[in-house]
Chains A and B, each alone.
Chain A
Amino acid sequence: MTKITDSIRWLLNSGRGNEIFFKGVTTLILAAGSVLILIPFLYMISTSLKDPAQIRSDSTSLIPRKPKTIEVNGKNEPLYQVTYNGETQEFALIKKIPNGFGQFVDPAAPNEIIELKLKEQRALYRLDIHWENYPEAVTAMPFWRYLGNTLVVTFVGMFGMLFSSSLVAYGFSRFRAKWLNVLFLLLLSTIMLPSQVRLIPVYILFNKLGWVNTLLPLIIPQFFANAYDVFLLRQFFMTIPLELDDAAKIDGANPLQVLMYIILPQARPALVSIGIFHFLYAWNDFYEPLIFLHSRENWTLAVGLQTFDAIYTINTHLIMAVSVLMIVPPILLFFFAQKIFTQGVVFSGIKG
């Protein structure tokens, strides 16, 4: 005994003990926090695999399950693990009676009724996973249509953003012109600008053009660059040595060719990074699709799922199934490009 306390005292007195102690506590807090983060995910997945009855009666279980039953006198009765006569046995519950007791029978001898306290017995469950929720969910709403719209908005918009932002960032990073600095400051000043202050006239403009209730209002503005992505790309372009441009120019390349064959290949990490962030933005965006898309066949997944929930909120299992489908692409993307995420934040957040 003294040996243990001695060694603990030694650990605490030496710096090493402190370090081990701190690391242990840190790991413990992180593990507890991770559980809090992960439980909602597990709840989402498990709810998507339950049927409505399971959701109603067994909502807190993170495993989709049903009570085990057994046929007793021609009726299906729930099976319990009970302690009876000092032995653990599997009995069927045939009737709940007042004061928290239940009438149990041994399925092998169904005529002898045994009264036991319900709370002390353990209900037995079997796994009951409803994979069919997924095919049902994607047919209950025009899922593929929504997905198609979302992909068009996301990827055509991404192309437009990359295309225009590259041109503009190139203009701001490689040329000298009288008003260029003023324009760049103007560009930066729009980063903090709340979109609400311009959204209403933009809506009216698109309405006049007949574009409201088409995907165009979500796509076309992407072709005119945006402050955030231009700024990131420009910062990256500035790190590419000018000698490369000069070498290409001596070989007779015009500015557009320098951009295409020298700058863009060098800037691939930055392009991938802003592309990924654009994907997440467009995939999750709800505000603009809600405003611009009015009819069912034009909705994106975000608006389609929300509307389905507003009308059929009772179908929790189907809504959670589509929710799972909706978070899978961002999560996959995250795992494939984890480095880019953390670097991208560094690069956009504070180091810039």
Chain B
Amino acid sequence: MTFPAFRKISLARREELAAYAFVLPWIIGFLVFTIGPMLASLYFSFTKYDIVSPPQWIGLANYQRAFSGVWDAIRTGDPRQFGDPLFWKSLQVTLYFASIALPLNLFFSFFLAILLNQKVPGVNVWRTIFFLPSIIAGVAVTLLWVRIFNPRLGILNPFLQNVLGIQNPPQWLGDPDWAVPALVIMSLWSVGGSMIIYLAGLQGVPTDLYDAAKVDGANAWQRFWNVTFPMMTPVIFYNLVLGMIGTFQYFTEVYIATSGNGGPQHATLFYNLYLYQNAFRFFDMGYASTLAWILFVIILALTALIFRSSGVWVYYEGQLRGK
């Protein structure tokens, strides 16, 4: 298999050509499905575009729509002053969910991982059970939880009433104050996904560190606080970044639980759901692109922020070795 043209070029050049040939599928995909569309959506964010008629340049109007009235709203404390109150509502809903779900997820998954890292009888069975919900996430699970939360037909409220003796259990997804907590509970059921990552991290902690701590007379709590926790901070950090990004892209569960409306009274209008509504319900592709770019900037900023603050409390083993 030698082509005449191939013989004339050097071996190094041939290797280069082969390399580019092999990575070509990704390069094409990157141009057609990533960088091209990104630039296009940046352009659309400065236009009025409904797919049917060609995009119409409107400058910063979409960005103004999102951000106008911020000052007035803060000054007067009246959310109606926002140019687009729903945009701010969606940010608020998303951050509210993140502020409850992420700490709880961190606590439960880390706690479970520590328990499942002990040599207890049947540990593999327990691990399997806790991990199971995270592989079936999606439509079926959400339809199930919608029914569990149902005040008339579900099992949660009868349990709260008859077993725990709570007189007026919440209406969950039907109550603006309880809809987000309901979604948090649902997300905690799948805590096994991050649990397994912590478990892998725990198993990576070198046992000689524990032995050394024991020799120094450290008790179980001190061993946890001075060995396990510092060794695990990179993993915690990794899970936090992913969790934050995940919250800004949270969609399937809330779409199904609220038929895509983000109700009741916009209580579950997550950022990504609002973006979807603008793009594929109102066909306001220009404004939806603006929201997408704001989302992109938020995620970049969050990642950068957590990365920068991580220097204070994240411990990488390599750093110490480097010193």
Interface residues of A (CB under 8 A from B): 22-23, 26-27, 29-31, 33-34, 37-41, 43-44, 47, 55-56, 59-60, 164, 167-168, 170-172, 175-178, 180, 183, 186-187, 190, 192-205, 207, 221, 223-226, 230, 254-255, 280, 284-287, 290-291, 301-303, 305-306, 309-310, 316, 319-320, 322-324, 326-327, 330-331, 334-335, 338, 341-342, 345-346, 349-351
* B residues contacting the other copy or chain, number (CB 8 A): 95
Query: B292 is contacted by which of A187, A200, A327 (Cβ under 8 Å)?
Result: A200
Query: A59 is contacted by which of B153, B201, B279 (Cβ under 8 Å)?
Result: B153
Residues of B close to A323: CB separation below 8 A: 139-141, 143-144
Q: Is B135 an interface residue (CB 8 A)?
A: yes
With A177-B20, A196-B249: A224-B32 Cβ-Cβ less than 8 Å: yes
With A331-B136, A350-B201, A350-B238: A164-B26 Cβ-Cβ less than 8 Å: yes
Binds A, one of B37-45, B64-72, B77-85: B37-45
- Please state if A176 and B15 are interface contacts (CB–CB under 8 Å): yes
Residues of B close to A327: CB separation below 8 A: 136, 140-141
CB distance from B29 to the nearest CB of A (A): 3
* Whole-angstrom CA separation of A272 from B20 in the bound complex: 26
Q: Is B74 an interface residue (CB 8 A)?
A: no
- Please state if A26 and B115 are interface contacts (CB–CB under 8 Å): yes
Interface residues of B (CB under 8 A from A): 1, 12, 15-16, 18-23, 25-30, 32-34, 36-38, 40-41, 44, 51, 112, 115-116, 118-122, 126-133, 135-141, 143-145, 147-148, 152-155, 158-159, 189, 192, 196-197, 199-201, 204, 220, 234-235, 238, 245, 248-249, 251-252, 255-256, 259, 272, 275-276, 279-280, 285, 288-289, 291-293, 295-296, 299, 303
The DSSP consensus for interface residues of chain A is helix
Residue of A nearest to B16 (CB): A177
Give 11 new A-B contacts, CB below 8 A, not counting A40-B133, A177-B20, A342-B200: A26-B118, A168-B25, A194-B248, A196-B249, A199-B279, A207-B51, A286-B256, A306-B256, A323-B143, A345-B196, A350-B234
With A37-B129, A168-B25: A290-B255 Cβ-Cβ less than 8 Å: yes
Residues of B close to A319: CB separation below 8 A: 143
Residue of A nearest to B288 (CB): A200
- Please state if B136 and A230 are interface contacts (CB–CB under 8 Å): no
* Whole-angstrom CA separation of A328 from B122 in the bound complex: 23
- Please state if A186 and B30 are interface contacts (CB–CB under 8 Å): yes
Residue of B nearest to A349 (CB): B197
Query: B144 is contacted by which of A43, A167, A172 (Cβ under 8 Å)?
Result: A43
- Please state if A190 and B34 are interface contacts (CB–CB under 8 Å): yes
Residues of A close to B197: CB separation below 8 A: 345, 349-350
* Whole-angstrom CA separation of A41 from B200 in the bound complex: 26
Residues of A close to B33: CB separation below 8 A: 198, 202, 221, 224
* Whole-angstrom CA separation of A338 from B36 in the bound complex: 39
Residues of B close to A305: CB separation below 8 A: 139-140, 143
- Please state if B144 and A331 are interface contacts (CB–CB under 8 Å): no
Residues of B close to A30: CB separation below 8 A: 115-116, 120, 126
Residues of A close to B23: CB separation below 8 A: 167-168, 171-172, 180, 183
* Whole-angstrom CA separation of A37 from B112 in the bound complex: 13
Query: B135 is contacted by which of A22, A225, A334 (Cβ under 8 Å)?
Result: A334
* Whole-angstrom CA separation of A133 from B201 in the bound complex: 44
Residues of B close to A207: CB separation below 8 A: 51
- Please state if A194 and B249 are interface contacts (CB–CB under 8 Å): yes
Query: A286 is contacted by which of B12, B196, B220, B252 (Cβ under 8 Å)?
Result: B252
CB distance from B51 to the nearest CB of A (A): 7
- Please state if B154 and A59 are interface contacts (CB–CB under 8 Å): yes
Q: Which 8 A-B pairs have the closest CB atoms?
A: A224-B29, A171-B22, A175-B19, A284-B138, A198-B37, A201-B40, A201-B37, A323-B140
